[in-house]
Amino acid sequence: MGLGGARWPHGIPPSAGRRVCFTSVVDVITNGTEVFADVEEFLRRFAATKPKRRSRLALAAPVAGIQLAALHHPNAFARRACLGFLDHYSSDCSVAVFARALADPVEPVRHIALHSIACERCRTDDLCASDVVPLLADILRHDPSPEIRHKTIPVLLRLSDRDSSARDAVERSTHEDADELIRDVATRALAGEHIRSRKMYERHARNHRD
Ligand SMILES: [Zn+2]
C-alpha cells in the first residue's frame, strides 16, 4: 500500500514508528531512506524553481512523503523545510502533521509547526478553533521555550472569540508561567495591547535596567 493510503486521515498513521501495527510505514522509516530521498530531491527542485512556477510544481509534490519526513526526517532542517512546504501548499490536509510537529524536540521546528497550525492565510478551509485552541493552550502551559510560549499568546487571543477557553489559557499564564516576561506580556495582551516579539520586550527590559 502507498504511504498516502486512505487508511489514515491526512495520509499519516496515528502512530507511525510503532512496529506492531504499521509495518509498512516503519519499513519505510527504517530502511527506506528512499522516501526521504524523493522528498529531498523534490524540495531541492522546488527551491531551484522560479517562484511564479512553484504553484504548478507543487501540484506534483509527494505530499504523503513530505508529511512523513516533516515528522521523521532525522535532520531538523529538513523537517522544517517540509513543514514550510506543507504550510504553503498543503495546509488543509496537514493539520494532523502540524499538531504532532508541535512536540518536535528541536525548537526551530516547533516555531514552524506553531505558525502552521494556526495559519489562516495558507488555508482554504476554515480553521477549527476547537481543535487548535487546546493544542495552543497546552503549548502555552508546557513548552520549555519561553519564545514559543510567548508566540502562542496573540494567536490564542485571535481565536478567543471562537473558543472562550483560549482566553482562559492566557489568563492562567498571567500567574502560572514561570517566566516573568510571559506573565507580563499575557497581562498586557489581555488588556488589549498589541503584542510584539519577545526580543523587543527583552531589549526594552535591558535598556531600562542599564
Ligand atoms: Zn502559513
CA separation for the pair 65, 12 (Å, rounded): 9
Of 3-17, 23-37, 53-67, 87-101, minimum mean pLDDT range:
3-17
| Cα 83 to middle of ligand 1, angstroms | 10
| Cα 81 to middle of ligand 1, angstroms | 13
Percent of the chain with pLDDT over 70: 83
Q: Residue 210: pLDDT band by 50, 70, 90 thresholds?
A: low
Pair 116, 87: CB distance under 8 Å: yes
| Cα 123 to middle of ligand 1, angstroms | 8
Cell of 198: 519577545
Pair 83, 112: CB distance under 8 Å: yes
Collapsing DSSP states into helix, strand and coil, what is residue 172?
A: helix
Q: Is the pLDDT score of 14 beyond 50?
A: no
| Cα 39 to middle of ligand 1, angstroms | 20
Pair 4, 64: CB distance under 8 Å: yes
| Cα 30 to middle of ligand 1, angstroms | 30
| Cα 41 to middle of ligand 1, angstroms | 23
pLDDT number for residue 18: 34
What's the alpha-carbon Rg for the chain, to the nearest Å? 19
| Cα 24 to middle of ligand 1, angstroms | 31
Name the average pLDDT for the chain. 84
CA 170 to chain centre: 19
Residues with CB under 5 A from ligand 1 (ion): 87, 119, 122
Q: In terms of Cα–Cα distance, which of 4, 68, 59 is closest to 37?
A: 68
CA separation for the pair 47, 42 (Å, rounded): 9
Q: Average pLDDT in the 133-138 region?
A: 96
pLDDT tens readout for residues 25-64: 444 444 446 678 999 999 999 999 999 999 999 999 999 9
